[in-house]
Amino acid sequence: MGIFDKAKDALGDAADKAGDLAGDLRDTVEDVVDKGLDKADSATGGKFHDQIDKAREVVDKLDGEADGTVENATDAAADAATDVVDKVDPSN
């Protein structure tokens, strides 16, 4: 395995790790948002429960959109790494 193949593998691994970290962060953000919305519902005695549920739906929708963004970014990083290696070592 040549140095360019090693670089390509290392960059691919780095892109995978970045995707994993983004997923971990997303889980943490979801927990914080859920706790905040639950506290708001509790603090208002359920008076604004419908509005809080709508806010939760918006957050869930944004989260779904972010899932695709993280996957796309990870794939784009891996593709960019491959392109760089191919340009440096066209025999690959």
Distance CA 80, CA 8 (A): 10
> Is 69 within a domain?
yes
* CA 92 to mean position of chain CA atoms: 30
More confident residue, 5 or 58: 58
Number of domains in the chain: 1
| pLDDT digit string, tens, across residues 54-68 | 888 887 777 666 666
Is 92's pLDDT higher than 60?
no
> Is 52 within a domain?
yes
For residues 92 and 4, the answer to whether their CB atoms sit within 8 Å is: yes
> Is 5 within a domain?
no
> What CA–CA distances, in Å, run from 24 to 20, 36, 58?
6, 19, 20
| Residues comprising the chain, all counted | 92
**Domain region containing 79:** 12-85
Is 41's pLDDT higher than 70?
yes
pLDDT at residue 70, as a whole number: 60
What's the whole-number average pLDDT of the chain? 74
